[in-house]
Chains A and B, each alone.
Chain A
Amino acid sequence: MRSGFNMRIISALLVGIVFGAGLTISQMINPAKIIGFLDIAGQWDPSLVVVMGSALAVSFIGYRVVLAREKPVFEPGFQLPTKTAIDRPLLVGSALFGAGWGLSGLCPGPAIAGAALGQIEIYVFLLALFAGMALKDGLARKA
């Protein structure tokens, strides 16, 4: 269905804008704000707690409504993660991610959203982010 094909791209674009605007308005796009939250022993900025709480309140209720439906509007079905095991890759990967988050004050969403803001530190982070992803996915493909 041609029109459906186009709509799924337009909706992804608009949803990306809402996501990025949310990151910007909440200042989660700003590494200094993230570091201020992670530094619980220093001068602590609890804003991230409110951001996550607010995002979870909306998504928890919204997911319940949406996932009760038969299928999404522009696609034939919902694609949900199927893994359930708490395994070593989950633990090690998340631990490494957290260390990187603490070092930089950036996670993938804010880093990508910040790509047009002309900050050299964000470009340094993004190049390294892509390299780290390629390293993992490249290794996985060979194995």
Chain B
Amino acid sequence: MEITGFTPLPAAIGGAMIGLSAVLLMALNGRIAGISGIVAGIMAPIRGEGRAELSWRLAFVAGLIFAPLLVSVARGELVAVSAPHPAWMMALGGLLVGYGTRLGSGCTSGHGVCGIARLSKRSFVATAMFMATAIVTVFVLHHAFGF
């Protein structure tokens, strides 16, 4: 193992902002900042929740999409992202993330941040599980199949 590309300061600042937004969404709206649940609630509004639940979720997602553009404007250049794996892996990955986060009731934000902050046993187990399978998946892809 060789450490490379480590960016501790932006990581600490950005991480604190993610934590702060989780706290604010609970303090102001009384909701868990779990992105998979928020998005699924927009796609298939949960019965009996009505328009009030839909509206805050849409507003949150709008803010989420808008934010990288704001950062881009502040920096004077578009935020750069790159996907190192081929398109078929993005497609298969998307399917698994979509199905898996619904089946497992959460993703990195809902389980990994909000759930662990609440000391939820389910979230500790879920986070250990998805970290483990993600690391194994990348290990197999890179070091067994040479992607």
Contact = CB atoms under 8 A, between A and B. Distances in A.
Whether both chains belong to one complex is answered with yes
Interface of A: 5, 8-33, 35-36, 38-48, 50-60, 62-63, 65-67, 69, 71-81, 83-86, 89-109, 111-122, 124-138, 140-141
B47 to A, nearest CB: 9
Contact of B59 (A9, A63, A92, A122): A9
State the main secondary structure of chain A at its contact with B: helix
Interface string B1-35: 11111111011111111111111111111111101
Given A15-B29, A25-B10, A79-B31, A98 B134 contact: yes
16 contacts: A8-B28, A15-B29, A18-B63, A22-B15, A39-B139, A57-B16, A59-B117, A81-B105, A93-B99, A99-B100, A100-B92, A104-B93, A107-B101, A114-B81, A128-B94, A133-B40
B83 A96 contact: no
B53 to A, nearest CB: 9
Range for the number of chain B residues in contact with chain A:
35 or more
Nearest to A140: B102
State the main secondary structure of chain B at its contact with A: helix
Contact of A74 (B12, B28, B131): B28
Contacts of B31: 75, 79
A12 B60 contact: yes
Nearest to A112: B64
Given A77-B30, A90-B126, A40 B59 contact: no
Interface string B63-107: 111111111000000111111110101111111111111111101
Contact of A104 (B55, B97, B105, B118): B97
